[in-house]
Amino acid sequence: MGASYYQKNLDSLNFDGRLLLKFRSGLRNRSLENKALIVSGSGEEFYKSFPLSEASKAHQLMESSQHIGKILLLP
């Protein structure tokens, strides 16, 4: 999503819509097996989602490092 498309992407959202940005940063410190899963797209994108009211539980999970994938907070 380059600068020329940023406003177009925002304009395409519905009222109160959300734009999810996905980056592949931080691959250097991951195992080859994990990198292969990420590149192939066969790994789970999102590990777990939590309602915003349970943000502390999401943070505990993140600190435990017992997950692979993103942890989502939902409004």
The token duo for 13 is: 């959202």
Distance CA 70, CA 12 (A): 24
Expressed as residue numbers, the domain containing 59 is: 3-74
* Measured distance between the N- and C-terminal CA atoms of the chain, rounded to whole angstroms: 24
- Condensed to tens digits (0 to 9), the pLDDT of residues 10-67 reads 788 877 777 666 655 666 777 788 777 766 665 556 788 899 999 999 999 999 988 8
Count of domains forming the chain: 1
Prediction pTM value: 0.43
What was the pLDDT predicted at 22? 60
What was the pLDDT predicted at 14? 78
Distance CA 29, CA 27 (A): 6
Distance CA 34, CA 21 (A): 20
Closest CA to 52 of 22, 74, 29, 70: 74
